[in-house]
Amino acid sequence: MTNNPEPLRVAVLASGSGSLLQAILNAQDNSYVVVGVFADKPCEAIDRARRHTPRPPIVQVVDFSDFGQARRPQWNNLLADSVAASSPDVVVSAGFMRILGEEFLDRFGGRTINTHPALLPKFPGAHAVRDALAAGAKVTGTTVHYVDAGVDTGPVIEQREVPVHPGDDESTLHERIKTVEREMIVDVLRDFRSLGTRARPGG
């Protein structure tokens, strides 16, 4: 019997420049394949995904601005339908700047992971790097964790530390963190099956 005969099928959610997505795309091998890339708005990440060869994923913008806050459940349902069409084993939120709602997590909870630029539970939320600097942290880092209904509260899979240098601003520190994040998310995906139910919500 062969272990892991098929590569892990990975869907990626992104909103911004997509440098994490690019690292994930570039490192595809026998252990995982990117089957879909989804964004909440047109962004560089989508352009990167559309350019990627030789194994182009499904690429789709599920534009939040077509829905707005009042129709957030409908947007979550459409995002979930779109992601489901790529038949992923795992969903990676890699620079995705929207909170995933219960409509999405009812279908993909326990197999949706997020990469966050701080050592959770320190500095959750959208301004983690700025908040670490403001708090005078000497060391911060990055966390990959399962997504649950809270904001950056799900069980931690892996963390790596990053030093804060004197004179750092948000941009220099975030770029140092992202260098580590890109390596860590690829390592987590390559090892994902061997995680078993460790740390998985309900696992």
> Is 116 among the residues known to form the active site?
yes
11 phi and psi, to 5 degrees? -105, 140
117: contact with ligand GRF by CB under 6 A = yes
109: contact with ligand GRF by CB under 6 A = no
Per-residue x/- mask for ligand GRF, residues 81 to 100, rule CB under 6 A? -------------xx-----
* Contacts with 39 (C-beta within 8 Å, 6 or more apart), sequence order: 13, 14, 15, 45, 46, 60, 61, 62, 96
Least distance CB 24 / ligand GRF (angstroms): 9
140: contact with ligand GRF by CB under 6 A = no
**Quick one: which of 181, 184, 186, 188 contacts ligand GRF (CB under 6 A)?**
181
By C-beta, is 85 or 130 nearer to ligand GRF?
Answer: 130
The amino acid that residue 75 corresponds to is W
β-strand pairing of 156-163 with 139-146 = antiparallel
124: contact with ligand GRF by CB under 6 A = no
Query: In Å, how far are 96, 153, 199 from 116, measured between CA atoms?
Result: 10, 11, 16
Contact between 95 and 15 (Cβ < 8 Å): yes
Contact between 6 and 89 (Cβ < 8 Å): no
Give the footprint of ligand GRF on residues 21-80 (CB under 6 A): 21
Query: Residues marked as binding for (6R)-10-formyltetrahydrofolate?
Result: 71, 97-100, 114
Give contact residues for ligand GRF (rule: CB under 6 A): 16-21, 94-95, 115-117, 178, 181
